[in-house]
């Protein structure tokens, strides 16, 4: 069945691939970008302006969206970015910006659209979280916090929306090659005692980014969920994700020792 699907952050990376694929499959797709004019001419689906860190943008987007479409079947909350840096060296201001976009922006946009979903008495909300919303790693404390917050929020929302036949789920990707690294905001190191560790972490992260696979598995997973009648809540995705999570849950010391070793060897 052809559906009307909104994909936030559809100008790049995972969101772009999801939106293109859904369009190719014959769905009616609306994407978003903070700068739609820059990308629209190259895209086969309509791109609307949306900055999820800006309340006015979310409000005017909500109005514009329903001028374009009569119904909404699926919301894919994909827009987001990465703040990197050692926790103590990352300013609270930068940390707040991370939460403002990844957590609050996603929540506010969802709230803007919920009245329509409730009125329809059906809908699906798929949020792109991260494996870092299920585990923590060094150098991404605020990103990890923002994605953990999404997990808790949407877990609760899933219960509340069950009565309206609105399905809520999360996709939690491992590392995949997109523009997330280039688009990241980086804290500048200023505490000498961290100099060596900072260097090791940056080598470790570079290796992880360089060796990351393309994001097609995430796209395939989202497409599957779009067609699922009764989706689960959580979909970790990526090579080794289940082993990683099992170690984290049942053998935390082993998990921790393995990460410490890999960072130290970098």
Ligand X SMILES: NC(=O)c1ccc[n+]([C@@H]2O[C@H](COP(=O)([O-])OP(=O)(O)OC[C@H]3O[C@@H](n4cnc5c(N)ncnc54)[C@H](OP(=O)(O)O)[C@@H]3O)[C@@H](O)[C@H]2O)c1
Query: 179 near 162, Cβ under 8 Å?
Result: no
Q: Has 143 been annotated as catalytic?
A: yes
Q: How far is the CB of 50 from ligand X (least distance, A)?
A: 5
Q: Find the helix packing angle between 195-210 and 252-265, rounded to 10°.
A: 100
Q: How far is the CB of 23 from ligand X (least distance, A)?
A: 15
DSSP secondary structure of 241-252:
HHHHHHHHHH-H
Q: How far is the CB of 241 from ligand X (least distance, A)?
A: 11
Cβ proximity to ligand X, 28 vs 78, nearer residue = 78
Cβ proximity to ligand X, 110 vs 130, nearer residue = 130
The CB-nearest residue to ligand X is 13
Label residue 27 left, alpha or beta by phi (over 0 means left) and psi (-120 to 50 means alpha).
beta
Q: How far is the CB of 253 from ligand X (least distance, A)?
A: 25
Summarize the chain as % helix, strand, coil (round to 5). 55, 15, 30
In whole angstroms, what is the distance from residue 47 CA to residue 40 CA?
Answer: 6
Token code pair at residue 217 = 């598995």
In whole angstroms, what is the distance from residue 223 CA to residue 5 CA?
Answer: 11
φ/ψ (deg, to 5) at 239: -60, 125
Q: How far is the CB of 11 from ligand X (least distance, A)?
A: 3
Cβ proximity to ligand X, 128 vs 149, nearer residue = 128
The residue annotated as part of the active site, out of 39, 81, 116, 143, is: 143
Cβ proximity to ligand X, 13 vs 95, nearer residue = 13
Query: 40 near 25, Cβ under 8 Å?
Result: no
Cβ proximity to ligand X, 46 vs 163, nearer residue = 46
In whole angstroms, what is the distance from residue 56 CA to residue 44 CA?
Answer: 27
SS3 220: helix
Interface residues with ligand X (CB under 6 A)?
A: 8-15, 33-35, 50-53, 78-81, 101, 105, 128, 130, 173, 175-176, 178-180, 183
Active-site residue numbers?
Answer: 143
């Amino acid at each position: 069945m052809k559906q009307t699907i909104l994909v936030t952050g559809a100008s790049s990376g995972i969101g772009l691939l999801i939106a293109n694929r859904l369009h190719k499959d014959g769905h009616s797709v609306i994407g978003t970008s903070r700068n739609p004019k820059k990308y629209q001419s190259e895209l086969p689906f309509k791109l609307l302006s949306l900055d999820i860190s800006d309340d006015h943008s979310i409000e005017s987007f909500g109005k514009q969206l329903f001028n374009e479409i009569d119904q909404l079947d699926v919301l894919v909350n994909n827009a987001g970015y990465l703040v990197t840096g050692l926790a103590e060296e990352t300013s609270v201001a930068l940390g707040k910006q991370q939460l403002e976009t990844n957590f609050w922006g996603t929540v506010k946009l969802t709230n803007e659209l919920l009245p329509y979903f409730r009125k329809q008495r059906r809908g699906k909300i798929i949020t792109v979280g991260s494996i870092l919303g299920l585990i923590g790693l060094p150098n991404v404390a605020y990103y990890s916090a923002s994605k953990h917050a999404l997990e808790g929020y949407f877990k609760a929302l899933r219960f509340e929306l069950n009565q309206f036949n609105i399905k809520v789920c999360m996709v939690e990707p491992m590392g995949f090659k997109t523009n997330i690294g280039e688009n990241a905001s980086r804290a500048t190191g200023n505490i000498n005692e961290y100099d060596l560790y900072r260097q090791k972490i940056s080598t470790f992260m570079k290796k992880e980014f360089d060796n990351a696979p393309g994001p097609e598995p995430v796209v395939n997973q989202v497409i599957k969920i779009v067609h699922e009648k009764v989706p689960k809540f959580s979909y970790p995705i990526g090579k080794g994700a289940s082993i990683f999570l099992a170690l984290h849950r049942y053998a935390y010391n082993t998990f921790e020792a393995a990460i410490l070793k890999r960072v130290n060897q970098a």
